[in-house]
Structure 1
Amino acid sequence: MAAAVSVRRADYANPHDAASLVMLLDAYASDPAGGGDGLSDFAKSHLVRELAARPQAYSVLAFDGDAPVGLVNCIEGFSTFACKPLVNVHDVAVLSSHRGRGIAEQMLALAEIIARERGAVKMTLEVLSGNAPAVKLYQRIGYAGYQLDPAMGTAQFMQKWLEAA
């Protein structure tokens, strides 16, 4: 029988957590849902240090025994309308070998606990419309399209690159 999956906040100073974070994010970036290209060498070598330098960032890791299998990266922002922090769930990744086992839900539950500890008024995330399993999960655990006035429609996530990634 496989070991139970455990979920905990990542310690950026812990070499095992740091390596796990980079490996999992690279696997996610290599997946079609993550764009299909792995992380650059620059990102691999600087990511954990840069996250650790930002007090508004935190990550959650999932392990099957000692093997890393899931990652959530969160970045605190600020809701001007509520005048309180918000947390953007920036990455949700579970290795393909472990999908469908509730790991993302467990990681998001811990990410929410941490967000509440920070006094966040809400959590946000973006998801590709073609990622039906993720959309279904997010809706089931309480996420919904963002709107202020239904007559104005729902928000769209947009981007503008300022430099090459």
Structure 2
Amino acid sequence: MEIKIEQPDLELCDFTNPQHCAALCDLINEYITHPMGGGEPLSDSQKLRLLDGLESHPKAITLFVLNDRAIAGVLNAFVNFSTFKCKPMINVHDVFVSDEYRGKGLGRKLIQGIIEIGKSLSCGKITLEVRVDNSTAQNLYKSEGFEEGNDPMYFWTRPL
């Protein structure tokens, strides 16, 4: 799966680049500890598992958005297959922009970037989950053409 990005303010994560690895871990920790994440920061061993897991996953996409060459946000997504569309699809798992860079349209650039990637991979759709109480993200996603499915769905989970 070869992915190319044409937008100069977007960059795919290079897992051989220590700055990229550090930025990814920092952003995910900021996201996890943010009120919308509601969790505990990753331990050092979890950070290594995160980096190794994303790098070794054959269908993972980790996309950074830059602000004046600084990594300001991240989008993690995974290519899957839609049996109904009979085409690949992308599921967006994380979209996060660091607090200091919010309000600059960087989340929109991440969403537009994954849409561009989806088109280049001939995907049939892009899916994502969004919290009911996250109206800011909902407004962004709606403005980029996302909508609730024809039959609204719950996102259920079973921890293992």
Cα RMSD of the aligned pairs, angstroms, is 1.5
Of 150, 154, 159, which aligns to 1:156? Answer: 154
Structure 1 unaligned segments of length 5 or more: list them.
148-152
Cα displacement string for residues 25-46 of structure 1 (whole angstroms, at most 9, x for unaligned residues): 1110110111232223332122
1:110 CA displacement: 1.1
- Mapped partners of 1:115, 1:49: distance in 2: 24
What does residue range 50-129 of structure 1 map to in structure 2 within 5 Å? 50-129=53-132
Letter in 1 for 2:136: P
SS state at 2:36 partner: helix
In 2, are the aligned partners of 1:74 and 1:87 still within 8 Å (CA)?
yes
1:24 CA displacement: 0.6
Cα displacement string for residues 37-73 of structure 1 (whole angstroms, at most 9, x for unaligned residues): 2223332122112111112001111222343210000
- Mapped partners of 1:43, 1:115: distance in 2: 29
What does residue range 2-21 of structure 1 map to in structure 2 within 5 Å? 6-21=9-24
Letter in 2 for 1:37: E
Aligned twin of 2:5: none
Aligned residue pairs total 153
1:88 CA displacement: 0.5
Letter in 1 for 2:153: A
Letter in 2 for 1:61: F
Aligned twin of 1:25: 28
Cα displacement string for residues 69-126 of structure 1 (whole angstroms, at most 9, x for unaligned residues): 1000011111011111110110000011111111011011111111222221100000
- Mapped partners of 1:111, 1:15: distance in 2: 23
**Which has the larger Rg?**
1
- Mapped partners of 2:129, 2:26: distance in 1: 22
Of 126, 144, 148, which aligns to 1:145? Answer: 148
Structure 2 unaligned segments of length 5 or more: list them.
1-7
What does residue range 31-46 of structure 1 map to in structure 2 within 5 Å? 31-46=34-49
- Mapped partners of 2:121, 2:69: distance in 1: 29
Structure 1 residue ranges, 4+ long, deviating more than 3 angstroms after superposition? none
- TM-score under structure 1 length normalisation: 0.86
- Mapped partners of 1:76, 1:24: distance in 2: 22
